[in-house]
Amino acid sequence: GILNTATGEVVSGASSLNKVVREGVQRMVDNGLTGFIDHGGHHWSPEAYVTMDVRTTMANTARAAVWERMEEYGDDLYQVSHHDGARPLCYDWQGKVISRNDLSRDVTDDEGNTVHVYAQSETTYGQAAGLFGINCKHYPIPFVPGFSRIRQPQQDAEENAKAYEQSQQQRYLERRLREEKRDLEVMKAQGASEEALKAQRKRIREASDGINEFCAKTGRTRR
């Protein structure tokens, strides 16, 4: 119920993602929910789980609107968007034209160039870490044969892998900082000594400095 309320507020435009995450996490904590373990045995903190759920549901809602409009026009083809640092299971499908009806074939674009269409079942669609899966940033671009212009992205597998690895390193550092801050609040609630709190605040500063150094070195933006 908490997740549905949070997602509804974002999708409807009533609240921002950051605002509903803060409120959603607080509601969960108020109800005694301090973490989750999914079917794969992965541990999730409330903020990580709420953020993942809301972002994924927002993306699913946006895609559902695209699918509906495509069906109204009798079009089943879409091109996959492109971005640097794509996940391994998504990378190979960036820029490709896919058929939702699973009809692999060749079509032409607005300039008469031949474009190969892949069946959706050939892709990683449907996998948690695959195309349009959990936390996926890709989106479908409707493609109409003979009308749409195909735009193939300039991709470099090595650079993409490097960007993806850096994104994972940054997520780890940010996760560590959140955990250190959470530990401080727990220590306060337990009545820890001032000396222990001082040591914990030092760990928080070190974790924050670690993120700043990483971003300065890689040119990434702190989140």
Whether the pLDDT of residue 152 is over 80: the answer is no
What backbone phi and psi angles, to 5 degrees, belong to 103?
-105, 95
Cα distances from 214 to residues 67, 141, 222, in angstroms, run 40, 34, 9
Residue 28: CA count within 13 A, CB half-sphere: 24
Q: What is the pLDDT of residue 154?
A: 80
Closest C-alpha among 152, 153, 169, 151 to residue 161: 169
Closest C-alpha among 183, 187, 169, 154 to residue 223: 169
Rounded to whole angstroms, how far apart are CA atoms 135 and 57?
9
Rounded to whole angstroms, how far apart are CA atoms 77 and 115?
11
What pTM did the predictor assign? Answer: 0.80
Q: What is the pLDDT of residue 181?
A: 92
Rounded to whole angstroms, how far apart are CA atoms 118 and 57?
26
Q: What is the pLDDT of residue 159?
A: 92
Whether the pLDDT of residue 48 is over 80: the answer is yes
**Which pLDDT band holds residue 109 (cuts at 50, 70, 90)?**
very high
pLDDT tens digits, residue range 178-215? 889 989 988 998 899 999 999 999 999 999 999 999 99
Residue type, 165: E
